[in-house]
């Protein structure tokens, strides 16, 4: 992927007042560049509830480079979520990125945009989908 946004839906088991997002480059052989990210309560068909959409940061910055073989943990985001609800995590991949760190048993749909950063858009047209979790 390159110059595309990936939106993934995850069911959370425990609710709370804030969330942190862990992304992984555990099996990557090159750095993983994340140009932007967001999180919000999932809607239908890859949409996010606009009122809950929040930008992700890492150490206060809106972008991050994850070294090969490593995970990255976002800063806490105030996002009240009920137990067993679904949240959407969107990441913009500005540079050519291989899908090397995936969860093949994670059977939630991932939505892949055409060219552009749509991380902070409540909805975007998906050019394709995947049936496993990425990063």
The verdict on pTM exceeding 0.85 is yes
Per-residue tokens: 54? 């929040």
If we measure between CA atoms, which residue out of 133, 127, 122 comes closest to residue 43? 122
Model confidence band, residue 119 (pLDDT cutoffs 50, 70, 90) = very high
pLDDT, residue 131, reads 74
């Amino acid at each position: 992927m390159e110059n595309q946004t990936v939106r993934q839906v995850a069911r959370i088991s425990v609710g709370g007042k804030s969330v942190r997002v862990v992304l992984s480059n555990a099996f990557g052989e090159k750095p993983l560049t994340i140009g932007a990210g967001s999180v919000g309560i999932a809607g239908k068909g890859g949409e996010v509830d606009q009122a809950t959409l929040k930008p992700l940061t890492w150490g206060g910055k809106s972008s991050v480079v994850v070294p090969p073989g490593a995970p990255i943990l976002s800063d806490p985001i105030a996002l009240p979520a009920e137990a067993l609800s679904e949240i959407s995590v969107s990441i913009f991949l500005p540079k050519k990125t291989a899908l090397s760190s995936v969860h093949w048993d994670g059977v939630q749909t991932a939505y892949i945009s055409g060219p552009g950063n749509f991380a902070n858009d409540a909805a975007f047209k998906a050019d394709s989908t995947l049936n496993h979790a990425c990063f």
